[in-house]
Amino acid sequence: MKLFARHILSVLLFVCILVTAHARNLRVLVQAKKNNSSINFTAVSSPYIVYSGKKKVRTLKQDESLTISFTRNHIVLSSWKKKIGTYTTLKIVSKNPDGIFSLQPADSAAAAVSYSDHLEVLAKNSSLRFLNVIGLEKYIEGTVAAEAGNDADPEFYKVQAIISRTYALGHLNRHAKEGFNLCDQVHCQAYNGILKDNKPIADAVLATKNKIIVDSSMRIITAAYFSNCGGQTAAAEDVWSKPLPYLQSINDPFCFNGVHAFWEQKIPLSDWLTYLKKKKLLSAYTDMNILCDTTFCYFPLKREALFSLSNNAVAMRAIRDDWKLKSAFFSINQAGDTLIFNGRGFGHGVGLCQEGAMQMAKLGHSFEEIISFYYKDVSVVDADLLSFLIEK
Same domain, 95 and 229: no
Same domain, 295 and 382: no
Whether 5 is covered by a domain: the verdict is: no
Same domain, 254 and 266: no
* pLDDT of res. 191: 95
Residues 95-106 have pLDDT tens digits of 999 999 999 998
CA distance 392 to 390: 5
Q: Is 374 exposed, middle or buried (0-12, 13-18, 19+ CB in 10 A)?
A: buried
Q: Residue 154, Cβ neighbours under 10 Å: how many? A: 14
Whether 190 is covered by a domain: the verdict is: yes
Range of the domain at 245: 10-25+135-259+349-392
Same domain, 130 and 279: no
**Residues 6 or more apart whose Cβ sits within 8 Å of residue 353:** 225, 226, 227, 228, 229, 233, 252, 254, 255, 345, 374
* pLDDT of res. 20: 47
Identity (one letter) of the amino acid at 331? S
Sign of torsion over alpha carbons 9, 10, 11, 14:
positive
Whether 100 is covered by a domain: the verdict is: yes
CA distance 83 to 57: 12
Q: Tally the domains of the chain.
A: 3
- Which pTM does this prediction carry? 0.89
pLDDT along the chain (392 residues), means of 10: 46 48 77 83 96 95 95 90 92 94 87 95 87 96 94 96 96 92 92 92 96 94 97 96 95 97 96 91 66 69 91 93 98 92 98 98 98 97 70 42
Same domain, 183 and 328: no
Same domain, 241 and 376: yes
Whether 2 is covered by a domain: the verdict is: no
* pLDDT of res. 34: 77
Same domain, 179 and 304: no
Whether 112 is covered by a domain: the verdict is: yes
CA distance 362 to 186: 25
Residues 307-346 have pLDDT tens digits of 988 788 999 999 999 999 999 999 999 988 899 999 999 9
Whether 327 is covered by a domain: the verdict is: yes
* pLDDT of res. 356: 98
Same domain, 58 and 93: yes
Whether 252 is covered by a domain: the verdict is: yes
* pLDDT of res. 72: 84
**Residues 6 or more apart whose Cβ sits within 8 Å of residue 124:** none
Whether 30 is covered by a domain: the verdict is: no
